[in-house]
Chains A and B, each alone.
Chain A
Amino acid sequence: AQRVTQPEKLLSVFKGAPVELKCNYSYSGSPELFWYVQYSRQRLQLLLRHISRESIKGFTADLNKGETSFHLKKPFAQEEDSAMYYCALSEGTGGFKTIFGAGTRLFVKA
């Protein structure tokens, strides 16, 4: 069965510090992995997806198939990065369901 695990419920860092939000998944095929973000009072929205291999707002995530991980990283956290971050997995494109991890609340302190 598919599963997405985010071990940290809360991550608190100081502004300018590096950030790593952990995500591990279990899926027997080749999934599509995403990070979604929800800022205060805003809707859940896509931050990045593994197939794009791009950096969004300074965040990157590398899919490690050997470790079945898709950790989200940013070298220097900003206060505006404070939000709820969800790792998500889909069986592929074309309408497959997406399942979500429990989420990690990132709090960046001044």
Chain B
Amino acid sequence: EPEVTQTPSHQVTQMGQEVILRCVPISNHLYFYWYRQILGQKVEFLVSFYNNEISEKSEIFDDQFSVERPDGSNFTLKIRSTKLEDSAMYFCASTLNSPLHFGNGTRLTVT
């Protein structure tokens, strides 16, 4: 069964550095998402992406965040200047219609 894959599984970065989290959605899916989960808190919606543009974003998804689908397979989340409070598990998800299929997540630690 096809799966959403995310790399790396764990990323450690210093405050102020840029990070790029990578995802390969399931190949025939049309809608792509990023979610995050701060330790002990709920899974929060960040952004949805369809037809090569953002379809919806949350208040969390400020100017420090950006998403891109640079080719036909990858879907990336960039954080331009990381803050301590960006430390979280970041999940990529994709769907053809409904429901969501999730990756294993990238644990981002900002020191």
Contact = CB atoms under 8 A, between A and B. Distances in A.
Interface residues of B, number: 26
A46 interface: yes
A57 B99 CA distance: 18
Contact of B56 (A43, A86, A97): A97
A36 B100 CA distance: 9
A97 B48 contact: yes
B45 A99 contact: yes
B105 A43 contact: yes
Contact of A102 (B4, B33, B42, B50): B42
Given A43-B102, A46-B100, A94-B97, A102 B41 contact: yes
Contacts of B45: 97-100
Interface of A: 32, 34, 36, 43-46, 49, 86, 90, 92-103
